[in-house]
Amino acid sequence: MPHYPDTLLFIDGQWTASGDNRFIDVVNPATEQVIGRVAHAGQPELAAAAAAAQRGFAVWSRMSVFDRYKIMRQAATLLRARVDTIAPIMTMEQGKPVGEARIELLAAADTIDWLAEEGRRAYGRLIPSRAPGVTQAVIRTPVGPVAAFSPWNFPVNQVVRKVGAALATGCSIIVKAAEETPASPAELIRAFADAGVPPGVIGLVYGTPSEISETLIAHPAIRKVTFTGSTAVGKMLAALAGSHMKRATMELGGHGPAIVCADADVELAATTLAAAKFRNAGQVCVSPTRFLVERPVFGRFVERFAALAAAHKVGDGLESDTTMGPMANVRRIDAMESLIADATAKGAEIVTGGHRVGNAGYFFAPTVLSGLTGDMRIMNEEPFGPVALMCPFDTLDQVVTEANRLPYGLAAYAFTGSGRTAARLRDEVRTGMLTVNHLGLALPEVPFGGIGDSGYGSEGGTEALEAYLDTRFFTMREYA
């Protein structure tokens, strides 16, 4: 068994415990055993982190863009070199297969590289003047210290999007990462520190989530808030940020429709969507959830998809033959069982799965349901687990209506052989991201974000930098 380290807070360039020496236990979701501890920040530590972030911003924002770029690129290099050490740590605390953990870490390094490069190109512009001798310029400046809140499903990739964008634009940042998965994001922060990021520029805290969010968002040093998590919590944090007139980026929940038309390559659709559905045990905000399949190919698609689901080897992510690990905590097991019980009581049928696996660990069988109706909770609430909902449709009007029925709009999927159909879905499905005939989401160079109850702002592409920059106008007439 790989060594799992205890995790400390990172404040003003130092790894430290809390003043009252409080810790939180960390549980391995594959065994339900305590494997380590994470330091619990209180008010003194949060105040120290905010003060350090303010000092760090004064240093980092004045550093040349090119010097910031070089430090960030070095952090990416260090992260790549440490992948084989960090990946098992992530698996032990989060559950995903170690191969998926390695992919996440390598993707995080790519994200750092991309954002470092984009930071060098966060240009302002000159505006032609109506009068001679007048200069008109748009200037982009960093917004200030950032408070970032990230979840447990992708412990490093959710943090790196926020840290990378903040550092690339000259902002300092305090990260509140998930207490369930503390050690792997700490190793990400260690790579930045070892690369030469000055003290105070990055802080890392853990503790009571409500206390940390209420304290940091209200703190006068903090000028921007970024959150990834549930829609319910996101709405509360957005309201709190708004009450203090602080900019916010919200990447919230979804209930992704996956549309499969009769003219699609059914085998490609089934294999591609099954891979997306059961990645990270379905604990993915952009996971396809409602599979809307045109009736002539419905039976064939469901049969093939269910076979792929049943073929998964569910087990400890450290085992080489595991293809789907446990869910992250017992709350996810309880939620899955409750949603499936409600659906079956109202007439849904279990095609495969639908049950907990084993007596130890938070394992749940890959699940496929059919016979679904709109009054079932699972058709309206994000399940955030390895369950696929199979629903037939007859017309394009019908499928567009169903895709848009919920207030979410994060990610959608479609498979069709018709360019005309793809264009209509592009224009009429209300979603922040739509990928057709392949999986093309969450790359460093493309926008990542939702609309409606799925949030606002982007954490990918050139758009990722926008929320971390103030746009200012400067104009001057030269003396004659």
Catalytic residues: 251, 285
Distance CA 158, CA 85 (A): 19
Distance CA 323, CA 100 (A): 9
Distance CA 124, CA 141 (A): 9
| Residues 152, 155, 156: CA angle, nearest 5 degrees | 165
Distance CA 183, CA 292 (A): 39
Q: Tell me which amino acid residue 45 is.
A: E
Query: What order do you get walking across the sheet with 14-16 strand by strand?
Result: 14-16, 9-11, 202-205, 173-176, 146-149, 224-228, 247-251, 455-456
- Two structure tokens written together for 76: 């990416």
Classify residue 285 by its DSSP letter. T
Q: How far are the Cα atoms of 63, 119, 196, 380, 472 from residue 469, in angstroms, in the given order?
A: 16, 11, 23, 36, 9
Give phi and psi for 95, each to the nearest 5: 110, -25
HEC-encoded secondary structure of 408-458:
CCCEEEEECCCHHHHHHHHHHCCCCEEEECCCCCCCCCCCCCCCHHHEECC
User: Taken in order 175, 177, 182, 183, is the CA torsion positive or negative?
Assistant: negative
> What element of type H or E holds 56?
helix 43-60
| Residues 280, 350, 272: CA angle, nearest 5 degrees | 40
Distance CA 120, CA 63 (A): 12
> What element of type H or E holds 401?
helix 396-403
Q: Tell me which amino acid residue 57 is.
A: F
Side-chain half-sphere CA neighbours of 368 within 13 A: 22
| 3-state class percentages of the chain: helix first, strand second, coil last, to nearest 5 | 40, 20, 35
